Structure 1
Amino acid sequence: MSQHIVVIGGVALGPKAACRFKRLEPGSRVTMVDQSSLISYGGCGIPYYVSGDVSEARELCTTSFHMVRDKDFFHEVKGVEVRTLTKATRIDRENKQVHLLDLTTGKESALEYDKLVIATGATPRKLGLPGEDLKGVSYVCNPDDATRIREGISKGEVGNAVIIGAGFIGLEMAEAFADMWGVETSVVEITGQIMPRLVSPSLAAMGQRHMEENGITFHFGESVKAIEGEDGRVTRVVTDKRTLDADAVIIAAGVVPCSDIAKEAGLSVHERGGVFVDEHMRTDDPDIYAGGDCAIVNNLITDTPTFLPLGSMANRQGRIIGTNLAGGEAIFDGVVGSFVVKLFETSMAGTGLSLDSALAAGFDAVSVLLVQLDRAHFYPTKELMTLEMVVDKSTRRVLGVQGFGSSGDAMVGRINAVAAILKYAPTIDAVSNMELAYSPPFAAAMDILNTLANMADNVLRGINRGVGPDGFKEMWEKRAESDVFFLDCRESGDATEYLERNPGDWHNVPQGKIYEKLDEIPKDRPVVLICNTGARSYEAQVMLTDRGYENVTNVHGGMAAIKKFGVDL
């Protein structure tokens, strides 16, 4: 029997659910309504249009075969009726109707449904600041925003830009301003690091330093108090610590799920917004589904409700909903939380929980940091990759992996490998023995993921006792009062520069000479071991422990991590 499906929202999940359903039930009717004139666009591509990587805003609204995804496309190609500039104002569950308002004519109407999909997405979080409505202040929401921002830059109207927020969008927009257009760009972040709660302070500092090398200025621990302007246009941003010149301001302080229409209809909604759904993407009304950026789903690691606004997830959920609208029983069991963000020539990615998030969720967690080449050491083109693994101490369960490396596929490929198994609660041992495709141009024989898990095993066993670059920095800066003995385990040619720079503080005994030169290494002082990446210093730690040294610390990631972190030696 044919059905009438009504979809509220036409950006990501809505079109996917509508088209999947029509393929399964071509004889049924689908009506999709959206209050905007633009539908089915790739919002995640907006920073790359602003930067110039994507040449035309139109490309954000086209298919892979270059057809514009507009009303006519959906009607002619997909068999879906689309009503743009039409706002859904109310859901009448008793009579199974959606009340609509035509934003062009002001006419009100009602649309009957057999089943309903709420795909209302999310809206940029507004800060309620004075001056937030000035010309030149923008959010990153749709292609119209992208066009307006890029036109302002290309006309030479923007010499200074201020980005509020150091999450995904904030960092991507900072790169877009500085890299392509040479705009002096500052980022104001209320917390103490980029990508807060998603990566550790160590990885965040590495990403920050790379962006600073590319001209971005960061102001952490600052709160924006006002946005000021002249003649209706923005000219400066006032924080609690300084005033920044600004010809353009991007507010990238996160998004808020658009779930008011669901709440007003009596559906279960999270206290901070977002529609609750089950594993079939149904709300507590069996004839109403919801998904994408307006929905709350289950976190498969913490088993708690989670809001994760990602276009990739919306598309996958849209297929689930489309299948179930046609009588299927498809399941979306939840998320582990995977991401990647491009930072100039590097990228930062992760899956699962960071250490801070794991501790906040109640896990007795620890993290380990490893720096290793992304392919065979003898292959001519290779780069160092930094990965951090978060594990639960008692169960050895892997809770997450985050990384910082080149902008190629090598690092995000490792993250994706772990993302695929996180839902099954893998242990360190599973990753230690994970089978990965190997050839010298692509990986080392002992892949960095295998080595990372082995390192975590050694840490939990207590035979690799160490700190990351942040811990090293703290000890180095307090070396005068702590009497720490810093021992470089590399060959003398690598250590000479640092011996000359830091006479009396920096010492050198190559790892292979440890047993021969024990008399040069004091037993009555804390010893901190450093090599290039932490591998030889780990071997040295084992050797010294074997000879009765009790206070020996290995610097995880070695000089590679120390340099990326920005410690001044």
Structure 2
Amino acid sequence: MSEHVVVIGAVALGPKAACRFKRIRQDAKVTLIDRDDVFSYGGCGIPYFVSGDVSEANQLRSTAFHMVRDEPFFKDIKGVDVLSSTEATSIDRANKQVHIKNLKTGEESVLDYDQLVIGTGATPRKLNLPGEDLENVFYVGNMHDAERIKQGITQGKYGKAVVVGAGFIGLEMAESFADMWGIETTVIEIFDQILPRMCSPVLARMGQLHMEEQGVNFVLGQTVSSIEGNGKVEKVVTAGGEVEADLVIISAGVIPNDKLARECGLECSERGGIIVDEAMRTSDPLIFAGGDCVIIKNAVTGDPMFLPMGSMANRQGRVIGGNLAGHDEKFPPAAGSWVVKIFERAMSGTGMSLGAARQAGFDAVSVMLIMADRAHFYPEKDMMTLEMVVDKATRRVLGIQGFSAGGDAMVGRINAVAAIMKFQPKIEDVSNLEVAYSPPFASAMDVLNAIANMADNALSGMNHGQGPDIFAEYWADRESGDYCFLDVREHADAEPFLEKYPEYWHNVPQGEIPQRYDEIPRDKKLVLVCNTGGRSYEAQVMLDALGFKEVLNTHGGMAVIKAYGVDI
């Protein structure tokens, strides 16, 4: 009798594992189970279906050659049997059986297995708020929710939307409402920044301001206490006030679906999620698991990590498929690479933000650089802001995040670092990282090399200063007389600020410092400013050599100051 592999869960990981195994073992029988009647779809594409960028729901279930991944597709094309609308109710490891129930007929039965895969995914985190059950409150947990939201939008039912949670899905949903449909949209977040834990407050502020320019409102640092309405949602109540809404999306993260695994005695994390090894094998050698229901290893810290991403699930599925067939494949530790599109900008990162690194116990610092993503003389270019996080003692790169209009160009840089994170790279590994060069695509000294060089200079004490957040504090305290804001650009660039702030703004072009340094006060903190931070760094080195004691270079210069929203 041929081997039978049963796969529980058919959204991302399950189909990849099932089809990979079946390609290797054509003689084996594979059964794929899912409790929904809509399966094998790209869940990460839901915000783009809601926005209209993806016009039909079936496009998220279709292959590149326009075949819908339904039961006949898997049977005829892949040789895999699918039991949809079927729930796995329990796993009997002793007898190697999965107990199942047909959710349409109520019929219960048993499937024998030789090997088993658990790909049960994750469930949206419930906030258990009063009013959660009102009409037009959604968690966007599946395609059915997405289709109901899209139907209501196209029928003109929604004029005001509230999104609870400023993570990836929350921001993408907010963009889809405000951009494509003109719905008045407010995002409420319990933390005081968007993308908490993923990037620094400075980059988060840049992203938030860009979204505000496009019409999205933000309520940060507030918890939602209730959702109110008469049958249908009418408003969202926070500790600080009320926001009118006829549509609410709750996007407060997800919880791994580990109930089946936990109940049958597989090792699970106390915080949720199935424990697997590098082969994606559970504590039972005949059972594999992957995707949004498992815990993997963090490439930066070595600690367990929950990382629910479709890209992870697909790669893990291939590893599992090979190992089901007797291969010895490993899934490496992950750095947690991400990217999110927000209107005309993108934010991306890999590894740890500065706050996350310090919380993990690293003696970490970060540097920020803004620079053209192509040769400065090439006519078509975008400015890219990168922030690199490094460990002081070891010079190890702990993470890098970015914000840019040229999303593809920035993601390429982030991906280059992501690829080496499992090797624990140091600053010099990125400083000397080889990238493809031609003026239409990069600078001769690429922005990625440049920020690593900046980190090197910062650790050696050559480049010292602050980002736009600290500059904003200094500027707000300018009347104290403790600071001299020194613009080291040419006079024409500095002139508008000299006229507007004659008491506080001063100008000595960087090239004139050797001849004019006597004009610069030595009893104040010198806050240096240029366009992007390059000339102010050169000026800082000069002034250090001339004996000035407190010289602070503003990283990113006026470009980052403006992007951060400093009122100047």
Q: Which amino acid aligns with 2:319?
A: I
Are residues 1:509 and 2:518 paired?
Answer: no
Q: Which amino acid aligns with 2:64?
A: S
**Which runs of 4 or more aligned residues in structure 1 lie more than 6 Å from their structure 2 counterparts after TM superposition?**
none
Deviation (angstroms), 1:498? 1.1
Q: What secondary structure, in the 3-state scheme, does the structure 2 residue paired with 1:219 have?
A: strand
Match of 2:257 in 1: 258
Structure 1, gaps ≥5 residues long: none
| Deviations 1:88-130, CA, capped at 9 Å, x for gaps | 0100000000011111111111111000000000011110001
| Deviations 1:185-231, CA, capped at 9 Å, x for gaps | 0000000000000000000000000000000000001000111112x
* Paired residues of 2:384 and 2:406 also in contact (CA < 8 A): no
Deviation (angstroms), 1:481? 2.1
Q: Which amino acid aligns with 1:52?
A: G
Q: What does 1:132-143 correspond to in 2, within 5 Å?
A: 132-143=132-143
- TM-score where L is the length of structure 2: 0.99
Match of 1:228 in 2: 228
Match of 2:247 in 1: 248
| Deviations 1:243-286, CA, capped at 9 Å, x for gaps | 11101000000000000110000011111210000000000000
Mapped partners of 1:533, 1:176: distance in 2: 32
Match of 1:207 in 2: 207
Q: What does 1:464-483 correspond to in 2, within 5 Å?
A: 464-481=463-480, 483=482
Match of 2:352 in 1: 353
Q: What does 1:333-352 correspond to in 2, within 5 Å?
A: 333-352=332-351
Mapped partners of 1:452, 1:207: distance in 2: 20
Q: What secondary structure, in the 3-state scheme, does the structure 1 residue paired with 2:316 have?
A: helix
* Paired residues of 2:382 and 2:406 also in contact (CA < 8 A): no
Mapped partners of 1:213, 1:520: distance in 2: 40
Mapped partners of 1:466, 1:140: distance in 2: 44
Deviation (angstroms), 1:482? 5.1
Mapped partners of 1:499, 1:52: distance in 2: 48
Mapped partners of 1:142, 1:102: distance in 2: 19
Deviation (angstroms), 1:338? 0.1
Aligned length: 568
Q: What does 1:224-373 correspond to in 2, within 5 Å?
A: 224-230=224-230, 232-373=231-372
Q: Which amino acid aligns with 1:87?
A: E
Shift in alpha-carbon separation, 1:456–1:190, aligned structure 2, 3 A: same
Deviation (angstroms), 1:151? 1.1
Match of 1:78 in 2: 78
Q: What secondary structure, in the 3-state scheme, does the structure 2 residue paired with 1:423 have?
A: helix
Deviation (angstroms), 1:519? 1.8
Mapped partners of 1:417, 1:48: distance in 2: 26
Match of 1:47 in 2: 47
Q: Which amino acid aligns with 1:563?
A: K
Mapped partners of 1:482, 1:565: distance in 2: 24
- TM-score where L is the length of structure 1: 0.99
* Paired residues of 1:7 and 1:119 also in contact (CA < 8 A): yes
Q: Which amino acid aligns with 1:316?
A: R
Structure 2, gaps ≥5 residues long: none
Mapped partners of 1:217, 1:375: distance in 2: 33
* Paired residues of 1:60 and 1:143 also in contact (CA < 8 A): no
Q: CA RMSD in A?
A: 0.8
Q: What secondary structure, in the 3-state scheme, does the structure 2 residue paired with 1:66 have?
A: coil
Mapped partners of 1:560, 1:138: distance in 2: 39
Mapped partners of 2:44, 2:215: distance in 1: 23
Deviation (angstroms), 1:407? 4.7
Match of 1:144 in 2: 144
Mapped partners of 2:384, 2:410: distance in 1: 7
Mapped partners of 1:333, 1:414: distance in 2: 21
Match of 2:419 in 1: 420
Q: Which amino acid aligns with 2:181?
A: W
| Deviations 1:292-322, CA, capped at 9 Å, x for gaps | 0000000011000000000001000000000
Mapped partners of 1:146, 1:510: distance in 2: 56
Deviation (angstroms), 1:141? 2.2
Deviation (angstroms), 1:398? 0.5
Q: Which amino acid aligns with 2:537?
A: Y
Deviation (angstroms), 1:475? 0.9
* Paired residues of 2:8 and 2:118 also in contact (CA < 8 A): yes
Q: What secondary structure, in the 3-state scheme, does the structure 1 residue paired with 2:162 have?
A: strand
| Deviations 1:340-361, CA, capped at 9 Å, x for gaps | 0000000000000100111111
Match of 2:99 in 1: 99
Mapped partners of 2:140, 2:333: distance in 1: 27
Q: What secondary structure, in the 3-state scheme, does the structure 2 residue paired with 1:539 have?
A: helix
Identity %: 63
